[in-house]
A and B are shown apart, each in its own frame.
Chain A
Amino acid sequence: MYAIEVDNVSRVYQKYSARHRFQTFKSALVKGDVFRSLKADELVTALDGVSFNVEKGRTFGIIGENGSGKSTMLKLVAGIAKPSSGRITTVGKVSALIELGAGFHPEISGRENVFINGIILGLSKREINEKFKEIVSFAELEEFIDAPVKTYSSGMYMRLGFSVAINVNPDILLIDEVLAVGDASFIPRCLDRIDDFRRRKKTILFVSHDLGTVEKICDKVLLLKNGKIAAIGEPKRIVNVYLQDIAEKQEKAFEKKKAEKAPAPDLGDERREDRWGKREIEIRKVVLRNLQGQEKHVFSPEEGLAIEMDVVSSEAIKDFVFGIGVFNSKGVSCYGTNTQIEDFRPLLIQGNGKVVCRIEKLNLINGTYYLDVAVHKNDGYPYDYHRSLYSFLVSSTLRDVGISRFPHTWSFSPTIKISK
């Protein structure tokens, strides 16, 4: 049985300027056509022919970039907004955690607000009386419950809002990114509550940017892109599709940024802060590729990286060392090496050449990295030194910390109960 059925739903909004061109009486009277029909270019399609079903008792995630239509979808399911076309059916009581504490009145006490908010969300007075203690203790507001809500901190406000909303005990719970504001101790308790909901076979529609949580708690995930369904299915797969998508986008943004920055290496001989040396041997071009040979700037930590340098030496030189260095955004050196350290003996370089440093697996944590490349003499005299002229991004769902991701595994003795 389906708890939520969304059938070919579209939602069209008018662009702000078009909507408000005739906002006032005066202009309406002057132009005389308040109710004129809107032209197509004055409309914004927030959702376009979206269909999906959520089975009863399932947790269904919706992910996507900002403006992809996630919140609109949630509002439509909640019944707050109406679809422009298509049909939405829900079975059972729906409660939406779209904004916590919406409708709290600042002047009256937390206690009174709990009652009114509870009634707004569909509880009876008796039910609130029964749950009052639990609501207050979950929000950890026993001390302040009789103070006016305007004296609350934003965290207190949010906790009380969440606590009321979660105690409404709906059949379908809609959650929109509300957990983002909680502190480190409150979020796990919220997630506990959500788990509790899942155990009791309630249906949850979960919108979030926290892909880790989505992957963990959802049974099925929908990826929206510009108001259309881009992918739907098993969480891990959809999250990966989304990440791939983001990576491609970042890649494009990177290239754009690079194009805007004037290509530095061709700026002549004068000494610059990020490039120095007399260029007896010159590094003409540096390209980053993955191990399959594609030029790239966004990598997963599992991927390999090939740094490709085109070098030119105008004369015959017998003393040269090629080196690379990787720095993170804080300027910490993550790795550096050169041909001297690795016992290569230079014999001769003349004319054009190509040097490739192939890293089999990056094993870096998420972040932006800067690359130094250089060619110099054994004693350190630089021919051509490029300081942080190249950068790349490492991006993944993992949230481990540090500088480098050590290859590792976990194992536990049978006495320890643990699962993944």
Chain B
Amino acid sequence: MNLIQNIKGVWKYRVLIQNLVSREVKARYRGTILGFFWSFFNPLLLMTVYTLVFGFILRPKDPSFEGSPWLYALFLFCGILPWTWFSSSLLESANVLMINGNLIKKILFPAEVLPVVTVTSNLVHFIFGLPILILFIPLLGKPFTPWMLFLPVVMLVQYVFSLGFSLLLSSLTVHFRDIRDILANLLTFWFFSTPIIYALSFPTIQKSHTLRVLLNLNPMTHIIGGYQSCLYYGELIHWKKLGATLLVGLLLFIVGYYVFDRLRDSFPEEV
């Protein structure tokens, strides 16, 4: 099948992908004083804002935070860091074919490499931020648990899901530039529809069947939930839910790839 061949093709370009990712990572903070530190300062600052507002002012009474704003901060961090990876990947991939239009128009260049590079370079930023997050676990009063070792599994699920989405978005945006504007708003909505600043165990959610069903239909609920299990709750990740999310991710990847492949020939003219 064509898809398999193309995936093999992408594998052939791994050196290229590797170099483009390192270029992206290097170029992003070139000229800044703090350099790579921005990869975790950004989520850290975001977390601080949310902790101040939600932790200290709104004070969630949920038992999972034991009434402590510091635990709430840790909970937030577990969700915001992977969310940043997800949302930046999507926002950037909506632009990536246009920004690199020169490559597509002037050089024989495998366009699918570009969304892969986007998702991967954001993964690198995520990984840069991870040590800080792990450092904060004992600092904010939670123990390390061996369940943390399942972190790569959660990351893999998120990678597949994000990549599928990126392929779809990047190719469609070439024809429908409106997507870029819709996307920013959609992501804000999505952020609040995912248990990042609130926990699934909140009584308001537990009481409402509809709300639970809706939240469970959101793949990001299970991905972010996976991080929270590994890092915050210290428990085994939810195999079935995460497995189902992986299947959804794979399906999205196939659809995304199919659309991308169909539109591929139009890129050199349209970008």
* Residues of A bordering B, CB below 8 Å: 13, 19, 23-26, 28, 75, 78-82, 94, 96, 98-99, 102-103, 105, 107-108, 112, 115-116, 119-121, 124-125, 148
Residue of B nearest to A79 (CB): B108
Asked if A98 and B16 make an inter-chain contact with CB atoms under 8 angstroms apart, the answer reads no
Q: Which A-B residue pairs are the 10 nearest by beta carbons?
A: A102-B106, A99-B106, A107-B27, A102-B102, A107-B30, A103-B103, A25-B178, A98-B106, A79-B108, A119-B16
Report whether A13 and B269 are in contact in the complex, using a CB–CB cutoff of 8 Å. Answer: yes
| B15 interface neighbour in A19, A98, A119, Cβ under 8 Å | A119
| A-contacting 9-mer, from B18-26, B124-132, B216-224 | B18-26
A25 and B176 contact, CB distance less than 8 A: yes
Tell me which residues from 1 to 43 in chain B have a Cβ below 8 Å from any Cβ of chain A.
15-16, 19-20, 23, 26-27, 30-31
From the candidates B108, B175, B179, name the one contacting A78 in the complex (CB within 8 A): B108
Are A26 and B178 interface neighbours, CB within 8 A? yes
List 19 other contacts, CB 8 Å, given A23-B176, A124-B15. Answer: A19-B270, A23-B177, A28-B176, A80-B105, A94-B108, A98-B107, A99-B106, A99-B107, A102-B102, A102-B106, A102-B107, A103-B100, A103-B106, A108-B26, A112-B23, A116-B19, A116-B20, A119-B19, A148-B30
**Chain B residue at minimal CB-CB distance from A14:** B269
Nearest chain-A residue to B104 (Cβ)? Answer: A80
B265 adjacent to A82 (CB under 8 Å): yes
| Cα separation A82 to B105 with both chains bound (whole Å) | 12
Pair B107/A23 contact, Cβ less than 8 Å:
no
Give the docked Cα–Cα distance between A121 and B107 (Å): 8
B268 adjacent to chain A (CB < 8 Å): yes
Min CB distance B111 to A, Å, is 11
B176, A24: Cβ atoms closer than 8 Å? yes
Q: Which residues of chain A come closer than 8 Å to B26, judged between CB atoms? A: 107-108, 112
Chain B residue at minimal CB-CB distance from A25: B178
Given known pairs A80-B105, A80-B107, A103-B107, the reply for A115 and B19 (CB within 8 Å) is yes
Interface string of B180-201 (1 = CB under 8 A from A): 0010000000000000000000
The answer to whether the Cβ of B56 comes within 8 Å of any Cβ in the partner chain is no
B202 interface residue per 8 A CB criterion: no
Query: What are the residues of chain A within 8 A of B16 when measuring CB–CB?
Result: 119-120
Some 23 contacts from A to B, beta carbons below 8 A apart, are A23-B175, A24-B178, A25-B178, A80-B105, A80-B106, A80-B268, A81-B265, A81-B268, A81-B269, A82-B265, A96-B108, A98-B106, A98-B107, A102-B102, A103-B100, A103-B102, A103-B106, A103-B109, A116-B19, A119-B15, A120-B109, A121-B107, A148-B30
B244-271 Cβ-contact flags toward A at 8 Å (1 or 0): 0000000000000000000001001110
Report the bound CA distance from A284 to B10 in whole Å.
76
The residues of B that contact A24 with a CB separation of less than 8 Å are: 176-178
Residue positions of B touching A, CB distance < 8 A: 15-16, 19-20, 23, 26-27, 30-31, 100, 102-109, 175-179, 182, 265, 268-270
Residues of B within 8 Å of A13, CB to CB, are 269
Given contacts A107-B31, A108-B27, contact A102 B103 (CB under 8 A): yes
CB distance from B140 to the nearest CB of A (A): 36
A120–B107 touching, CB < 8 Å: yes
Separation of A99 and B101 alpha carbons in the complex (Å)? 12
- B81 CB, min distance to chain A CBs, angstroms: 25
Neighbouring B residues of A28 by C-beta, 8 Å: 176
Interface Cβ pair total, 8 Å cutoff: 76
Q: Which of A28, A75, A103, A115 has the most CB of B within 10 A?
A: A103
C-alpha spacing A124/B268, complex, angstroms? 25
A112 CA to B100 CA, complexed, in Å? 17
Complex CA–CA separation, A120 to B269 (angstroms): 20
In the bound assembly, the distance between CA atoms of A160 and B265 in angstroms comes to 29
- Residues of chain B contacted by A125 (CB below 8 angstroms): 15
A134 to B70, CA, bound (A): 58
The answer for the CA separation of A112 and B19 in the assembled complex, in Å, is 9
Q: How far is the CA of A213 from the CA of B268 in the complex (A)?
A: 30
Q: A80 to B106, alpha carbons, bound, how many Å?
A: 7
The interface residues of chain A lying within 8 Å CB-to-CB of B178 are 24-26
- In the bound complex, what is the Cα–Cα distance between A374 and B131 (angstroms)? 93
Bound together, the chains give a CA A105 to CA B22 distance in angstroms of 12
Shortest Cβ distance from residue A396 to the other chain B in the assembled complex, whole angstroms? 34
- Measured in the bound complex, the distance between the Cα atoms of B27 and A80 in whole Å is 27
Chain A residues with CB below 8 A from B30, complex form: 107-108, 148
**Complex interface: chain A residues within 8 A of B107 (CB):** 80, 96, 98-99, 102-103, 120-121
Residues of B within 8 A of A103 (CB): 100, 102-103, 106-107, 109
Instruction: Name which residue of chain B comes closest to A112, CB basis.
Output: B23
Q: How far is the CA of A116 from the CA of B102 in the complex (A)?
A: 14
Give the one of A75, A102, A124 with max B CB within 10 A. Answer: A102
- Distance from B181 Cβ to chain A, minimum over Cβ atoms (Å): 10
| A116-B23, A148-B30 as given contacts; A80 in contact with B100, CB under 8 Å | no
Q: How far is the CB of B20 from chain A (nearest CB, A)?
A: 7
**Residues from chain A with Cβ under 8 Å of B109 in the complex:** 103, 120
Please give, as numbers and ranges, the residues of chain A lying within 8 Å of B265 by CB-CB distance.
81-82
- Are A99's CB and B23's CB within 8 A? no
B108: which A residues are within 8 A, CB to CB? Answer: 78-80, 94, 96
Within the complex, the shortest CB–CB distance from A170 to chain B, in Å, comes to 11
- Complex CA gap A75/B269 in Å reads 11
Residues of A within 8 A of B20 (CB): 116
Query: How many Å from the CB of A116 to the closest CB on chain B?
Result: 5
Measured in the bound complex, the distance between the Cα atoms of B108 and A124 in whole Å is: 16
In the assembled complex, the Cα of A155 lies from the Cα of B93 at a distance in Å of: 32
Closest residue of A by beta carbon distance from B108 = A79
Shortest CB-to-CB span from B91 to chain A, Å, is 18
Residues of B within 8 A of A78 (CB): 108
Cβ of B106: which chain A residues have Cβ within 8 Å of it?
80, 96, 98-99, 102-103
